């Protein structure tokens, strides 16, 4: 049982404040939907949790089980159990999915920091990665489970992938890295109904009692497939309302215009 | 002349400086026929009349020969005869063992040191010989093709010097329809310090022939290497050529290479420039027959104060030809690279399809890459594109990979390796790919 806690978080980019006092608690086993209009700062929150260097934290804290992660590099946060599924995963030319993922998994599971086996292979690059066969087997199994074509292992990361393929590959990576907390930044955006179903299935498979999800979305649509325990409305750089699934329904009925009328003044103040 | 009463080594020991006498002594020590001596002397005269490159020459404007003085080198190394494989250095033995090749030759300093052939090669009429022997054993073929079709002695100052003093070299001849499936491996190791070397590669293929040749160039500490590569590719012939230059970082390296392609010929040339203090490489593909297909792919990774210059020419003389050029380089420290390239389309070369791309990954702000692409098009129904880029490692790539648990160093290394991958993917010999990956790894780390 783990807790990801965001306390009064303020963040700026180029002296402009984007996050204005975010408070949010995510526990293992919970799915917490964070809904808000474009430009409300939802994606910034996701990036800040993952440690993107572009943003400056001016106040507040992010804690995992009581320990602040603010001083951690992005890779250390990943090792601490945070996984960000990107809204727009970048294409990295020449880096194959399998190659990079083996290094990633080896780091996160601690292979790379284990003392090199006493076979005199020290110094050989790749000698302390997860064993190739073991990794291959697991990757193949998970590709099957998460509906990713096996050929993607050899393809270059997100290079020439369709929107749906990118999002599915993000879910696959999450399945391989087995985080404590998945931050899903608009994993539903740009997907047709079939792709949305595949991605949602993947998330549901990974929604085990030992894992929490922050499901960031603009639309109520994905919540037909992934059932949240909590829904928060994000507006003007902070959480303005939190409740059960009924909040999403209310939002769909009333629209983001209602949010603006209701909370616009409070945020501006 | 009666120089032959002396031992060849003794003749060369007595040679001093670059002169016509040196050319004569070199030829005599090798017991060459008169035509080759004449060829050398003619080239020497051309060398003497040609000026040294100056900053006014467009080709040398960005690559200055500051600190280069030919008088600082011994004109030729003294050869020390052939040996058994076990007597080669461990590095060379490993190079030979790692590649699954049809035949191998090792040159050290100015002569053949070791060779191994599969008997089947000669049964098929394939010649894979050191050029010195080929001059005696295949005079008609050598006289017909040696510096006559692809690279002529007078092309530049260094080709003239090369023609006058060439020492080591490979002659590959593949008759019509013959297919050599495994690569032919050539290793040149310039062992002696401070000497000049002039390595020659001459590959001639007849109609429908197939061959893969790998040149590995090593050593040349405080020395100079003026090499020439000639690929004369017959109609419908398929040639894969790899030039893997990994000289000592104190070496001056001048390479002139040209491939001449017949009708429907297919070439892939991989140019790797890892080593040398300074490299100036002229690389041309000359599409002379209809339907030719040429790929010229290069990688370079200068570090420290290395200076690497590639100048390429894609010559489309005939219609319906395709050429694709891709040079990718990463730069560290205070290194410099220059890429200059021209796609030249002659009148009548309609339906030409030509690409030229040069990418540079700048790893340190103190490094500098110049890229000057160019088009000279005299036909109207063609498709030619060129692009040049110089960029740093994308921070967004780094963040993405770090968000997956890679350290910054791992992420950057992977991105740099990925940058070279577009060329590595097209290297047709697996052991070469692994070797290149190891060097990239080493260069990133060190």
The CATH number covering residue A221 comes to 3.40.50.300
Could you say which of A157, A190, A207 is where a domain stops?
A: A157
pTM across the whole model: 0.89
Q: How confident is the model at residue B119 (pLDDT cuts 50, 70, 90)?
A: confident
B-chain CB neighbours of A173 within 8 Å are 404
Look at A251-255, B151-155, B196-200, B362-366 and tell me which has the smallest mean pLDDT: A251-255
Q: Cβ contact (<8 Å) for B399 and A125?
A: no
pLDDT score recorded for residue A116: 54
Whether A83 is covered by a domain: the verdict is yes
Please give the C-alpha separations between residue A130 and each of A112, A121, B46, B349, B414, in angstroms, as whole numbers. Answer: 8, 15, 61, 54, 17
B-chain CB neighbours of A101 within 8 Å are 404
One domain, residues A97 and A87: no
Q: Cβ contact (<8 Å) for A73 and B396?
A: no
pLDDT score recorded for residue A267: 62
One domain, residues A11 and A143: no
Q: Which domain holds residue A50?
A: 3-91+179-268
* Calpha distance A143→B299 (Å, rounded): 34
Hey, which bits of B262-381 come out as E strands?
266-273, 278-287, 293-300, 307-316, 322-331, 336-345, 352-362, 368-377
A158: left (phi over 0), alpha (psi -120 to 50) or beta: left
Q: Which residue of A has its CA nearest to B416?
A: A94
A-chain CB neighbours of B417 within 8 Å are 94-95
Q: Does A86 touch chain B (CB under 8 A)?
A: yes
One domain, residues A103 and A224: no
Q: Does A125 touch chain B (CB under 8 A)?
A: yes
The yes-or-no verdict on residue B2 having pLDDT over 60 is no
Cα-Cα-Cα-Cα torsion B268, B274, B278, B279, nearest 10 degrees, comes to 0
What are the strands of the beta sheet with A16-27, ordered from one edge?
Answer: A16-27, A3-13, A56-64, A67-68
One domain, residues A7 and A86: yes
Query: Phi then psi for A203, rounded to 5 degrees?
Result: -60, -45
* Calpha distance A247→B347 (Å, rounded): 72
Query: CA nearest B295: which of B267, B327, B260, B253?
Result: B267
Q: Cβ contact (<8 Å) for A50 and B417?
A: no
pLDDT score recorded for residue B7: 65
Query: CA nearest B422: which of A35, A96, A43?
Result: A96
Cα-Cα-Cα-Cα torsion B170, B174, B178, B180, nearest 10 degrees, comes to 20
A247 neighbors A34 (Cβ within 8 angstroms)? no
Cα-Cα-Cα-Cα torsion B323, B329, B334, B340, nearest 10 degrees, comes to 10
One domain, residues A75 and A23: yes
* Calpha distance A44→A60 (Å, rounded): 15
pLDDT score recorded for residue B9: 66
Q: How confident is the model at residue B140 (pLDDT cuts 50, 70, 90)?
A: very high
One domain, residues A139 and A264: no
A-chain CB neighbours of B422 within 8 Å are 93-94
Write out the DSSP string of B105-150. EEEETTEEEEEEE-HHHHHTT-EEEEHHHHHHHSHHHHHHHTTTSS
Q: Which residue of A has its CA nearest to B396?
A: A90
Q: Please give chain A's pLDDT, 269 residues, in tens.
A: 899 999 999 999 999 999 999 999 999 999 999 999 989 999 999 999 999 999 999 999 999 999 999 999 999 999 999 999 999 999 999 999 999 999 999 999 998 776 655 444 444 445 588 999 999 999 999 999 999 999 999 999 999 999 999 999 999 999 999 999 999 999 998 899 999 999 999 999 999 999 999 999 998 899 999 999 999 999 999 999 999 999 999 998 999 999 989 888 766 54
Mean pLDDT of chain B: 95
Whether A211 is covered by a domain: the verdict is yes
Q: Which tens digit of pLDDT belongs to each residue from B235-256?
A: 999 999 999 999 999 999 999 9
Contacts of B152 (CB under 8 A, 6+ apart): B159
pLDDT score recorded for residue B118: 83
Pairing label, strands A181-185, A82-85: parallel
B273 neighbors B244 (Cβ within 8 angstroms)? no
SS3 B293: strand
Find which of A72, A81, A92, A106 to mutate to test the B interface (most B CBs within 10 Å of its CB). Answer: A92
The yes-or-no verdict on residue B225 having pLDDT over 60 is yes
Tokens of B300: 């370079």
Which among B403, B408, B422 is the nearest to A94, CB-wise?
A: B422
One domain, residues A79 and A194: yes
Find which of A75, A101, A129, A183 to mutate to test the B interface (most B CBs within 10 Å of its CB). Answer: A75
Find which of B361, B395, B400, B446 to mutate to test the A interface (most A CBs within 10 Å of its CB). Answer: B400
Whether A216 is covered by a domain: the verdict is yes
Pinpoint the alpha helices (H) of B283-407. 395-402
B-chain CB neighbours of A79 within 8 Å are 405
One domain, residues A114 and A98: yes
Whether A141 is covered by a domain: the verdict is yes
ipTM: 0.94
The alpha carbon of residue B401 is apart from the nearest alpha carbon of chain A, in Å, by: 8
One domain, residues A87 and A129: no
pLDDT score recorded for residue B5: 44
B376 forms beta bridges with B344
Q: Which residue of B has its CA nearest to A170?
A: B404
Q: Which tens digit of pLDDT belongs to each residue from B319-360?
A: 999 999 999 999 999 999 999 999 999 999 999 999 999 999
One domain, residues A138 and A262: no
Pairing label, strands B238-247, B266-273: parallel
Query: CA nearest A170: which of A152, A191, A187?
Result: A187
A-chain CB neighbours of B410 within 8 Å are 103, 107
Whether A25 is covered by a domain: the verdict is yes
pLDDT score recorded for residue A154: 94
The domain total for chain A is 2
Q: Cβ contact (<8 Å) for A103 and B441?
A: no
One domain, residues A98 and A85: no
The alpha carbon of residue B424 is apart from the nearest alpha carbon of chain A, in Å, by: 9
Find which of B403, B423, B433 to mutate to test the A interface (most A CBs within 10 Å of its CB). Answer: B403
Q: Which tens digit of pLDDT belongs to each residue from B82-113?
A: 899 999 999 999 999 999 999 999 999 999 99
* Calpha distance A129→A117 (Å, rounded): 11
SS3 B240: strand
One domain, residues A11 and A85: yes
* Calpha distance A249→A255 (Å, rounded): 10
Domain ranges of chain B: 36-391, 393-446
SS3 B30: coil
Residue with tokens 């026929």: B33
Q: Cβ contact (<8 Å) for A75 and B415?
A: no
Contacts of A268 (CB under 8 A, 6+ apart): A236
Q: Which residue of A has its CA nearest to B437?
A: A125
8-state DSSP, A221? G
Which among A75, A86, A92 is the nearest to B405, CB-wise?
A: A75
* Calpha distance A113→A129 (Å, rounded): 9
B119: left (phi over 0), alpha (psi -120 to 50) or beta: alpha
Residues of B with CB under 8 A from a CB of A: 394-397, 399-408, 410-411, 414-415, 417-422, 441
Which among B394, B399, B414 is the nearest to A74, CB-wise?
A: B399
pLDDT score recorded for residue A264: 81
């Amino acid at each position: 049982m783990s807790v990801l806690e965001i306390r009064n978080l303020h963040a700026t980019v180029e002296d402009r404040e984007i996050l204005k006092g975010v408070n949010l608690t995510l526990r293992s086993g919970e799915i917490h939907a964070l809904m808000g209009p474009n430009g409300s700062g939802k994606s910034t929150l996701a990036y800040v949790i993952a440690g993107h260097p572009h943003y400056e934290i001016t106040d507040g804290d992010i804690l995992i089980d009581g320990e602040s992660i603010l001083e951690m590099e992005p890779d250390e946060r990943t090792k601490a159990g945070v996984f960000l599924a990107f809204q727009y995963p970048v294409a990295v030319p020449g880096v194959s999915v399998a190659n990079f993922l083996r290094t990633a998994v080896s780091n996160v599971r601690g292979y790379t920091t284990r003392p090199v086996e006493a076979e005199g292979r020290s110094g050989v690059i790749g000698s302390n990665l997860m064993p190739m066969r073991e990794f291959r087997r697991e990757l193949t199994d998970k590709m099957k489970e998460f509906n990713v074509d096996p050929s993607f292992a050899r393809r270059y990361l997100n290079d020439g992938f369709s929107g749906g393929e990118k999002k599915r590959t993000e879910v696959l990576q999450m399945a391989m890295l087995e985080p404590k907390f998945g931050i899903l930044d608009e994993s539903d955006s740009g997907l047709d109904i079939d792709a949305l179903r595949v991605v949602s299935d993947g998330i549901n498979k990974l929604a085990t009692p030992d894992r929490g999800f922050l499901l960031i979305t603009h639309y109520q649509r994905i919540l037909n497939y992934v059932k949240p325990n909590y829904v928060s409305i994000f507006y003007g750089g902070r959480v303005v309302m939190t409740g059960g699934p009924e909040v999403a329904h209310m939002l769909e009925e009333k629209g983001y215009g209602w949010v603006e009328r209701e909370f616009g003044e409070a945020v501006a103040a | 002349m009666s120089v032959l009463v002396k031992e060849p080594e003794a003749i060369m020991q007595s040679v001093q400086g670059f002169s016509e006498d040196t050319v004569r002594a070199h030829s005599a020590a090798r017991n060459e026929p008169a035509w080759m001596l004449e060829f050398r002397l003619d080239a020497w005269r051309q060398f003497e009349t040609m000026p040294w490159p100056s900053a006014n020459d467009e080709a040398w404007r960005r690559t200055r020969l500051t600190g280069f003085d030919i008088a600082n080198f011994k004109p030729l190394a003294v050869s020390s005869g052939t040996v058994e494989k076990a007597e080669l250095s461990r590095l060379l033995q490993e190079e030979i063992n790692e590649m699954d090749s049809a035949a191998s030759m090792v040159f050290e300093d100015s002569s053949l040191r070791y060779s191994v052939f599969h008997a089947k090669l000669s049964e098929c009429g394939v010649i894979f010989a050191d050029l010195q022997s080929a001059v005696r054993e295949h005079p008609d073929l050598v006289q017909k093709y040696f510096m006559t079709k692809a690279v002529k002695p007078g092309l530049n100052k260094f080709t003239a010097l090369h023609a006058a003093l060439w020492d080591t070299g490979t002659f590959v001849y593949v008759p019509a329809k013959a297919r050599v499936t495994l690569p032919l491996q050539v290793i040149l190791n310039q062992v002696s310090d401070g000497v000049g070397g002039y390595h020659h590669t001459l590959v001639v293929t007849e109609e429908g022939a197939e061959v893969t040749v790998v040149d590995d160039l090593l050593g040349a500490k405080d020395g100079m290497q003026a090499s020439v590569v000639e690929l004369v590719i017959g109609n419908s012939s398929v040639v894969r050529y790899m030039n893997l230059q990994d000289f000592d970082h104190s070496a001056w390296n001048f390479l002139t290479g040209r491939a001449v392609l017949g009708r429907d010929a297919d070439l892939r040339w991989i140019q790797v420039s890892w080593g040398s203090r300074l490299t100036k490489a002229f690389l041309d593909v000359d599409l002379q027959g209809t339907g030719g297909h040429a790929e010229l792919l290069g990688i370079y990774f200068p570090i420290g104060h290395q200076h690497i210059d590639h100048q390429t020419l894609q010559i489309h003389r005939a219609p319906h030809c395709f050429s694709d050029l891709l040079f990718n380089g990463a730069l560290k420290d205070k290194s410099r690279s220059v890429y200059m390239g021209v796609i030249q389309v002659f009148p009548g070369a309609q339906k030409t399809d030509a690409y030229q791309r040069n990418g540079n990954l700048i790893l340190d702000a103190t490094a500098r890459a110049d890229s000057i692409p160019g088009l000279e098009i005299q036909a109207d129904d063609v498709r030619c594109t060129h692009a040049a880029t110089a960029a740093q490692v994308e921070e967004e790539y780094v963040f993405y990979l770090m968000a997956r648990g890679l350290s910054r160093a791992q992420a950057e290394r992977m991105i740099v390796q990925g940058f070279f991958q577009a060329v590595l993917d097209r290297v047709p010999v697996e052991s070469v790919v692994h070797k290149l990956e190891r060097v990239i790894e080493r260069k990133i780390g060190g």
